[in-house]
Amino acid sequence: MKKIIIIGSAGLGREIKSILDSINKQAPTWDLVGFYDDAFTKPYEVTDGINCLGVIDDIKDQQPDDISIVFGIADRFIVKSITEAFSGRGYHYPNIIHPTVEICNMTTMGKGNVMAFQSFISTDVKVGDFNFLNTFAAIGHDVVLGDFNALNPRVQISGNVLIGSLNMFGMSSAVVQNKIIGNKNIINSFSLLTKSIKDERKYFGIPARRISI
């Protein structure tokens, strides 16, 4: 089994552990060393006898060649800043994919992505690095998904959509086909995006309209 640590010991970190447990039930794969979290300076038990071992900088005590890292942090900006701080250290960032996930043919994927229970990727999709697909999130055919995007539960991305990086899609939001989405946008929960959008904007409603950030 391969050693892995989870950065982030709150609710999402515990959910990541449950995905690792589900993977291990199919085939023993991951040996969870523990959690690391800057919010807690002293070791404590997070769940199931697995401890938070220290702050994130303490990870440097682990041997890079032996350790993989997965992020239990929803904020993709924080994830990006940590990966930049760790650049050159040689850590591994595997794709963590729940056994119930379906990924169709001709899809490519970078590193550090997490796909939760029953999320779905259709055919001919290009997925970058460090994206998070929460439960029942779905991506249609011929989509390009950049880096550090968060798709919350039941997000629906239709076919032929081009998505940049550092976007947050709220629960049950959706994007119609053939649109382009820039970077650092927020699509609020239960919103339907029916047009292409640029960068650093926030949308809400059906159809989604730009609102103040």
Please state which CATH number belongs to domain 2-85: 3.40.50.20
pLDDT of 53-99, one tens digit each? 999 999 987 877 789 999 999 999 999 999 999 998 889 999 999 99
Class of domain 95-213 (CATH, top level): mainly beta
Query: What mean pLDDT is reported for the chain?
Result: 96
| Contact between 183 and 198 (Cβ < 8 Å) | no
> CB of 133 within 8 A of CB of 116?
yes
Q: How far apart are CA 194 and CA 177, in angstroms?
A: 8
Gap between the Cα atoms of 43 and 107, Å rounded? 40
| Rounded CA separation 169/124 (Å) | 21
**Residues 6 or more apart from 46 whose CB is under 8 A from it?**
9, 13, 14, 17, 34, 35, 52
pLDDT of residue 86: 92
Domains of the chain: which residue ranges? 2-85, 95-213
- Joined together, the tokens standing for residue 101 give 């996930």
Phi, psi of 81 (to 5 degrees): -65, -35
User: For residue 25, what pLDDT is reported?
Assistant: 98
